[in-house]
Each structure stands twice: as C-alpha cells, then as structure tokens.
C-alpha cells in the first residue's frame, strides 16, 4: 500500500498544489470585519473540497461569528474514529509592505509556498484532505472512520467553538483527535508536540486631557498619555524579564530535572536561531534557556502600541490618548480568567496620575499538556519515523491552540498534534511560507497513520 | 482716529471674516509632502492679499522648501520701520475623526472660528493685514514704514528662514519686529510674551529580529521591539518627572525669587485649567508650579509612538520594529545642538539588548528671552490696555517660535510678541479655533500700536 499512496501523491502533486493555491488565495482574515465575506468563502471552499473527496453530512454550522464546518465518513465498521480539526481562518497581513509577494497571491519559490496561511493552518490542514482523497481513491474506502471539524475563528481565540463542541458531543464522538497546526524543531526532524501554552490578554486604552494639546504651551504641565502608557507598560516586567504582576507565577510549576535534561538533550542551537533572526542576543526571563522560556515559562508581550503623531516629520503635540495590546502565554495550571483579573488589577494599581485607563480582555485559551506515552501518540511517532527515516522528537510548543484545551476538557480523548511547520516559516508575520518537502512527506505520514490506527486500537 | 478705525472695522467685519474663511480653507500643511501644492497656494494667497492692501515689492522668495513671502510699504519718511512676521503654514490635522467640523472648512460657532490655523497662525497674522488695510484706507498712507515677512515652514522648525534672514539683512532692516503667534493667559486679560522656550527633538527607531515573529513560538525568547522602546522611553524621566538625560539641566538657571513672585502674582488657576482640560490632576516635574513647569523649566515629551498591531481585535505578534518621536522644550542657555547630542548619548547608553536603535534629529530652535522694559514693548502694553481696558500682563510662553531666537541673534532689534490666542483654543490639536472677540479687539490693538509707534521712537 505504501507504494500506491506514493504513486498517487506523485501523480497528482501538481493538481494538489493548484488546489492549495486556490485555497490560499482566499483572504479569510477572521479578525477584520472587512473580510467577513472572504472568511465565509473559506468555509465554503472547504465544504466543497470535503464533498469532492467523498465526505458526507457536510454542513456549515452557523455561530455568532464565522461558521463551523463539519463532515464525516463513518462506514468503517468496528474501526476507530478520528476527529480531524483545523481552521480556515488566517491572521491579518500587515505590515503589508514587508511581503515580498502579495499575501493572497501564493507563490512557490525554492520549493516553499509563500502566502498567508501557508502553514498556519490552511496548508497543514489541506494535507489531511489530500491524504484521505488518496486512501479513498486507491481503496474505495477508508481504514478508519473520519470526522472533520474546521473552524473559522482560531486566530481570534476560537470564541464560538467551545459552545459548539459542548452542544455536539455526540456528533463529535471519536477515539482520537488529530490536529496539524504546530511545527517541528528543525528541518528533517519530525516532532510531536504534547504541550501548548495558553493565552490571555487585554487592550489598554489610556485617556488624558479632553483633546491633544500643544506640547509647547502645556508640555511639562499636563500628563502626556504616551508617557503614562510607557510607565504602565514598563511596570509589567523588570529588567530581567521577570513579570511583575502580583501572583502571576503562583500556579506555575517548577521545571522537573527530567524535563530539563530532555530539553537539553535536544541540542537546540541558540546561535543558529540568532543567525536566522539576525539578532545579536536572545533576550528573556533570566535563569532559563531559550527552550524553557518559550515552552514552559509564561510570558507577557506587547503586541501593538500606538498614540500621538505617526506621520512624516515632527508634530509637537502632547497626545491625550495612548493604546496598547498585550497578551500572555500561559503554562499548565495558570487560569486565563484569573490572569486577566491579575492584569486588570495590576493596571489599576499602576495607573499614573492625570489619566484614566480602560482594560478590555481579549479571548482566552487554557494551556494543555498530555502524557505522550498514549498508544495513539506513539503510533504517530512511528508514522513520522517511517517517512522521515529518523526518530520522532516529543516536544512542547510555545504557541496556543485554545481549542486543544477545550477538546481535552470536553471530549476527553487523546489529542495528536501532528505538526509539519518549521521555525522561520513566519507564522503570523510577513512572508509566511510552508516547505513543500514537509507537504510531500506529511501527506505520506498522515496516510500511513490513518492506515495503522486500527491496529493500534485493536492491540 | 480711534473712531474711524472702529467704524471701518465694524463696517467691513463680515467681508474680513469671509476672507479669513477663504484663507483658512487652504490646507497648507508644511510637513506633509502631499500638501506641497496647497502650501504654495497659501503663499500665493498671502501675496495676493498684500497687493490688495497696497503693499509693494511683493515677492515669493524660493527656498529649498516652501517660499518666503516678502512685501513692504516704505513711504513714511523719518518714521520707524516695523517688520511684521507670520507664517502661512499649519500643523497636520490628525486625528481627523476628533474634529467636530472639517479642519479646512472653517465654521463659526459661538463667536469662535473653528479651523486648522485659526489661531496658529493664520488667524492672528491675518489681523495685521486688515489693521493695515484700515489705516491705509482711512488715511491714504501708513503712520510707519512696514515690511512683511511670512514664511511657510514655521511648523517644521523654520528650516530655511535663518539663511534667508542672514542673506537679506538689508532688505529686512527695521526698528522693531512685531509677531502675533502667541497667546494671552486668560480671556479679557491681554498679555505680552517676553520669553519663549526652544525646541530640540529626535525620532527613535528600534529594530529587532529580521521580521515580526509569532508571539507563541518566540515569545519570551526574543527581544520584543516594543518592550525595548518602552524601556528606553521610560529611562528618560523618573517618576517625579525629572529628566534623567545626563547634563540635561547643566545650563538651566534657577528661577529668581523675583520671577517666582511675579508668576505667583498672576493668580493662575490650576483648578480652572483642570476643569477646562477635564483632568483630575496636573502632572509634571516635582517642586515646580504649573506656570514654572510650562514657562521656565525644560521638558521632554513623547509626541508619537507606534509599532506592532494597531487594528481591531487581537494579533499575537512579537513586533520587530518600534518608533517614537520625542521633543524637548528648552529654556535660556540650553543649546539645541548640545541637547540633541545628550539625547543621542542617552539612547545609546540605554539601548536594551537584542535590538539596534537609530536616532534622527528633528529641526531645532533656540530659547529666547528679551527685557520687557524696552519702550517698543511697553508701548504695546499700553495699546492692549487701551482696547481691553485692563492692565497688560508680561508673561513667558512654553511654546517655541524658533525664528524669534534667529531674529534676535541676526537682526538684533526688539521683538514684540503681541499674542491674541487663548488657552484651550487647541493649537496643534483637533478643533483648533480662535475667539472672534480677540480678533475684533486685536485689530484695534494693532492699529493703535502702529499709530503710536512714531511717538515712542521719537521720545
């Protein structure tokens, strides 16, 4: 069978890439209201593609936001059921001028496909469609039962999916949940991520005088909203990168010696990363390695900040408004709601005189860790190894897929995070791209995994 | 003569306001290249108006930037010559959404005219045109010789005017320099400003990794350009508002007891200002009153700041670029060039790890103070008093008119800052406006002053 899959995928590679290009061309930016229709087009494109590969019961379930796409094929009697999750929405594209080619005009250069969503998550999710298409066309049936769940709000915190999952537990019943929305540590080294950080954040809006003031007439006499914001933002962390929000670290577990040793054994190259990012130094919380800081330590980052005059030249204004967006990455036991509460308290306790500050929470996601000894996860490791020819790494990820924690809590089934992204592929940034070698090998990994799963569950 | 002037100005008031409206409609924003043509139109409008009131030798002198407009009338033999300075350029208008009516569609509400430039400086300068028109039409000649010098780069630091003044000292030769580009302390209380703060500033551009990064994958591990900027900006001042730039205060003179007493005698109402600005507190350098902080103490203010995601909702990005514009108001003896050097050294000494920072100086202006006992200045005080009916205050101003220091250094003649603006008229801010009662009274003050000047100089 291995050969049949290989031949099929080789034969249809160009067609598959054409289809991927078509999908990546849809600007389904879920966070921007001007892309509402485009985001719906993303959902419709997926529904249509699911139909073409023989899926059934296809439906766009409306939500308060963007619809959830469901489909299934459940004719593999007495075989396990796999729930495959993905998202059809993508991040905004600004700053647009830094893209070498337009974000929604996919371009292949150097065996990489460049487009917003290339890895996160359209490209990765698309592989599941095509692996299943291959199995279906070769065998006329699938080795397992398959259910698809694709949402359009992952990039805005999966606002409406938890309620959908809660209300549709029967529809979504499965033995294992399979997600490709993470990455490997390095080229040619497959990795399965068994832990993800959570997310909590707020927008901070500072308001000073009733309007902008002349910095000559009032400067030195009246609070400047930008200075107040700077003072407030600076209070969040000390010079060693330690977050100063009271009780922020209370529930964070110390790193075990075993984990420390395992991470050190990965031989992660900080120098390689510095070179890749073109920075002189990697900077973060004192006393932790880069891997520890990005996998198992919580963070607080300013994602955006603005106020006053941003145009060309000089404008001697004393601005009366200033704004910032901050988000925290959370580790196990930290509760996003509690963190938002602590952040709000911190802002209130540190608001400089002469301004008022409003705090607005963003959508949240809980952190997640699963035991990687589970047979369904170990089987995924073997499928990777067969295709890539090297042992699979078991790692944790710094990012957040809020829905993973929700699946864990509501559906209580093992979750396999089968990621094919690579560091440096610019998720959420300009020039996002996906290495096509991982597209090719990933298709084979997925097909192998679905084929092997019945054995794993019958053991 | 007083009555003739009064009657003339009353008769032609509507026509004058129509002309002012026409002028305020020209978006002569000198700092924005998209308004280059509009700024030229501002110069042409003024040249045309000077011609209509009988001025001669009218010329638009080209510079590397916007042209300087010159005109004169020098037929008052053995009478003093007054050089009247003004500027036809205005500040940018953003944030546009905060304007109640469009900035370049002048609107009169509640006896105030609302438009960008209404006080700073189109409205104020326009009064000189109309006062001279009145004198000319009533008497067929002027009581003094008059020279006009109107530039189009005041809002961008008068970049090209010093060279023009230097090269045209003979053309500009005069006995007194008259400028209306400042304000009174309160409604109904005329004031003459005898000191102005200088200006020096820089743009700070922070650059981190080669591109924006995903805050989940890299967050906690790599320097965030916004955090680096916040840290840098926060290092400029301590929590008491004291500027931390080394040697910044070295040349600042302590306030004399006499000055302290004079400022206290003004009975400035901090409560009134708080109410006007709708702020709970007035904030600034510890140990100084509001008047002291805004008149005789130097400042450092962030005028603009930006980086990362500013759109709707959330984008979990770790930004690699951050920007800020800061300007300092300077007091006598502080040298703008030296201050820029100190600011640059401070930035270099406080650059956080993992980023590079570029410092770009803005155009500068020296501070200025003149003895207010000069007869030409005292005469101005009397003219105010005659029209307003109350004694004139002699004050200092927090703002900068860089060219004032230049006039002082090159032309070495007394400078009369005859301001008619009011606090709260939103210079440089949305909803800039000018109280028409000061327009009406100011016209009479100027006409009276020009008429009285010959006596002053013959004394």
Distances (CA, A) of A198 to A134, A237, A428, B205, B421: 35, 19, 17, 32, 55
Contacts 24+ apart (CB under 8 A), A348-352: A350/A231, A350/A232, A350/A235, A351/A228, A351/A232, A352/A223, A352/A227, A352/A228, A352/A231, A352/A232, A352/B283
Residues forming CATH 3.30.70.360 domain(s) in chain B: 198-252+298-361
Please give the structure tokens belonging to residue A336. Answer: 């996003």
- Over 80: is that where the pLDDT of B402 sits? no
Tell me the pLDDT tens digit for each residue of B219-239.
999 999 999 999 999 999 998
At residue A78, the 3 state secondary structure works out as coil
**Rounded Cα gap, residues A318 and A332, in angstroms:** 43
CB A122 within 8 A of CB A24: yes
A 52-91 residues inside an 8 A Cβ radius of B: 91
Choose among A156, A227, A299: nearest Cβ to B314. Answer: A156
Tell me the pLDDT tens digit for each residue of A305-333.
999 999 988 888 999 999 999 999 999 89
Q: What is the pLDDT of residue A145?
A: 98
- Over 70: is that where the pLDDT of A111 sits? yes
Residues forming CATH 3.30.70.360 domain(s) in chain A: 198-259+293-361
Q: State the complex-level ipTM.
A: 0.72
pLDDT band (50, 70, 90) for residue B329: very high
Tell me the pLDDT tens digit for each residue of B64-75.
999 999 999 999
- Over 60: is that where the pLDDT of B432 sits? yes
Q: What is the pLDDT of residue B2?
A: 66
The average pLDDT across A254-280 equals 88
Q: Residue B371, Cβ neighbours under 10 Å: how many? A: 8
Q: What is the pLDDT of residue B352?
A: 96
Please give the structure tokens belonging to residue A363. Answer: 């959508």
* Cis peptide, bond prior to residue A401, ω within 30 of zero: no
* Cis peptide, bond prior to residue B312, ω within 30 of zero: no
**Rounded Cα gap, residues B171 and B174, in angstroms:** 9
- Over 90: is that where the pLDDT of B265 sits? no
Phi-psi region of A412 (alpha: psi -120 to 50; beta: other; left: phi over 0): left
A45 to chain B, closest Cα gap in Å: 24
β partners of residue A214 = A317
Cβ–Cβ gap B279/A209 under 8 Å: yes
**Rounded Cα gap, residues A204 and A323, in angstroms:** 6
Residues forming CATH 3.40.630.10 domain(s) in chain B: 2-196+367-458
- Over 90: is that where the pLDDT of B316 sits? no
Cβ–Cβ gap B285/A230 under 8 Å: no
CB A423 within 8 A of CB A183: yes
Q: Residue A115, Cβ neighbours under 10 Å: how many? A: 28
Map A167-214 to HEC letters.
Answer: HCCCCCCCCEEEECCCECCECCECEEEEEECEEEEEEEEEECCCCCEE
- Over 80: is that where the pLDDT of A360 sits? yes
A303 to chain B, closest Cα gap in Å: 5
Q: What is the pLDDT of residue A2?
A: 66
B 179-208 residues inside an 8 A Cβ radius of A: 183, 197, 199, 201, 208
- Over 80: is that where the pLDDT of A370 sits? no
A454 to chain B, closest Cα gap in Å: 33
**A340-372 as b/e: b if 16+ CB within 10 A:** bebbbebbeebbbebbebebebbbbbbbbbbeb
Q: Which residues, other chains included, contact A159 with Cβ-Cβ below 8 Å and sequence gap of 6+?
A: A64, A65, A153, A363
The average pLDDT across A169-187 equals 92
Q: Distance between the two ends of chain A, CA-based, in angstroms?
A: 21
Q: DSSP label at B361?
A: E
Q: Among candidates B285, B328, B321, B327, which has minimal Cα distance to B303?
A: B327
Architecture of the B198-252+298-361 domain: 2-Layer Sandwich (3.30)
**Rounded Cα gap, residues A266 and A52, in angstroms:** 42
β partners of residue B112 = B109, B435
Asked if A277 reaches chain B (Cβ–Cβ under 8 Å), the answer is yes
Architecture of the A2-196+367-458 domain: 3-Layer(aba) Sandwich (3.40)
Q: What is the pLDDT of residue A255?
A: 84
State which residue of chain A sits closest to B228, comparing Cα positions. A234
**Rounded Cα gap, residues A90 and A28, in angstroms:** 6
Tell me the pLDDT tens digit for each residue of A272-284.
999 999 999 999 9
Choose among A219, A227, A302: nearest Cβ to B227. Answer: A302
Cβ–Cβ gap B221/A400 under 8 Å: no
The average pLDDT across A392-412 equals 84
Map B254-306 to HEC letters.
Answer: CCCHHHHHHHHHCCCCHHHHHHHHCCCCCCCCCCCCHHHHHHCCCEEEEEEEE
At residue A361, the 3 state secondary structure works out as strand
Asked if B323 reaches chain A (Cβ–Cβ under 8 Å), the answer is yes
Q: What is the pLDDT of residue B262?
A: 81
Distances (CA, A) of B448 to A183, B297, B384: 80, 34, 9
- Over 80: is that where the pLDDT of A71 sits? yes
Q: Which residues of B touch A317 (CB under 8 A)?
A: 91, 303-304, 428-429
- Over 80: is that where the pLDDT of A399 sits? no
Asked if A238 reaches chain B (Cβ–Cβ under 8 Å), the answer is no
Tell me the pLDDT tens digit for each residue of A145-171.
999 999 999 999 888 999 999 999 999
Asked if A39 reaches chain B (Cβ–Cβ under 8 Å), the answer is no
Asked if B138 reaches chain A (Cβ–Cβ under 8 Å), the answer is no
| Residue tagged 């000069």 (tokens) | B374
**Rounded Cα gap, residues A450 and A385, in angstroms:** 15
Mean pLDDT check: name the lowest of A154-158, B275-279, B333-337.
Answer: A154-158
Q: What is the pLDDT of residue B267?
A: 83
Tell me the pLDDT tens digit for each residue of B159-181.
899 999 999 999 999 999 999 99
**Rounded Cα gap, residues A71 and A82, in angstroms:** 12
Output B103 or B377, whichever has higher pLDDT: B103
**DSSP run (H or E) holding A108:** strand A107-109
B152 to chain A, closest Cα gap in Å: 15
Q: What is the pLDDT of residue A364?
A: 82
Cβ–Cβ gap B309/A304 under 8 Å: yes
Residue B66 main-chain phi, psi, to 5 deg? -90, 150
DSSP line for B414-457: -EEEE--B-TTS-TTSTT-EEEHHHHHHHHHHHHHHHHHHHHHH
* Cis peptide, bond prior to residue B410, ω within 30 of zero: no
Q: Which CATH code fits A198-259+293-361?
A: 3.30.70.360
Alpha-helical regions (H) of A28-143: 36-52, 122-139
The average pLDDT across A358-367 equals 89
Q: Which residues of A touch B212 (CB under 8 A)?
A: 95, 98, 426, 428-430
CB A214 within 8 A of CB A320: no
Q: Residue B404, Cβ neighbours under 10 Å: how many? A: 27
């Amino acid at each position: 069978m291995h050969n049949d899959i290989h031949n099929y995928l080789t034969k249809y590679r160009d067609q598959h890439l054409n289809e991927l290009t078509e999908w990546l061309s849809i600007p389904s930016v879920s966070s921007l209201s001007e892309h509402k229709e485009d985001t719906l087009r993303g959902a419709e494109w997926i529904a249509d593609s699911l139909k073409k590969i023989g899926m059934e019961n296809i439906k766009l379930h409306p939500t308060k936001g963007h619809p959830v796409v469901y489909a299934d094929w459940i004719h593999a009697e007495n075989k396990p059921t796999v729930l495959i999750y993905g998202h059809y929405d993508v991040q905004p594209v600004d700053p647009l001028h830094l893209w070498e080619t337009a974000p929604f005009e996919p371009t292949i250069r150097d065996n990489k496909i460049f487009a917003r969503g290339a890895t996160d998550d359209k490209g990765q999710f698309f592989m599941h469609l095509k692996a299943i298409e291959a199995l279906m066309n070769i065998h006329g049936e699938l080795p397992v039962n398959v259910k698809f769940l694709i949402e359009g709000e992952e990039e805005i915190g999966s606002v409406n999916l938890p309620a959908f999952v809660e209300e549709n537990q029967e529809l979504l019943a499965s033995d294992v949940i399979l997600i490709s929305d993470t990455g490997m540590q390095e080229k040619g080294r497959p990795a399965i991520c068994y832990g993800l950080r959570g997310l909590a954040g707020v927008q901070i809006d500072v308001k000073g005088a009733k309007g902008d003031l002349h910095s000559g007439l009032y400067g030195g006499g009246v609070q400047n909203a930008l200075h107040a914001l700077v003072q407030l933002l600076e209070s969040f962390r000390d010079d060693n990168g330690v977050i100063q929000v009271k009780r922020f670290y209370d529930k964070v577990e110390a790193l075990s010696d075993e984990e420390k040793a395992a991470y050190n054994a990965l031989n992660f190259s900080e120098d390689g990363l510095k070179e890749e990012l073109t920075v002189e130094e990697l900077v973060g919380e004192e006393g932790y390695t880069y891997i520890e800081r990005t996998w198992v330590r919580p963070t607080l980052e300013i994602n955006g900040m603005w106020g006053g005059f941003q145009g060309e030249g000089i404008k001697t204004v004393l601005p009366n408004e200033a704004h910032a967006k901050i988000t925290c990455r959370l580790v196990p036991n930290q509760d996003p709601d509690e963190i938002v509460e602590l952040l709000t308290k911190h802002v209130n306790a540190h608001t400089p005189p002469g301004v008022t500050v409003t705090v607005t929470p963003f959508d949240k996601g809980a952190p997640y860790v699963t035991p990687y000894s589970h047979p369904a996860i170990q089987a995924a490791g073997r499928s990777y190894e067969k295709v890539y020819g090297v042992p699979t790494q078991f790692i944790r990820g710094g990012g957040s897929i809020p829905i993973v924690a929700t699946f864990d809590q509501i559906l209580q089934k093992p979750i396999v995070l089968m990621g094919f992204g690579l560091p440096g592929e610019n998720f959420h940034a300009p020039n996002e791209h996906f290495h096509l070698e991982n597209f090719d090998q990933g298709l084979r990994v997925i097909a192998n995994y679905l084929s092997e799963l019945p054995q794993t569950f019958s053991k």
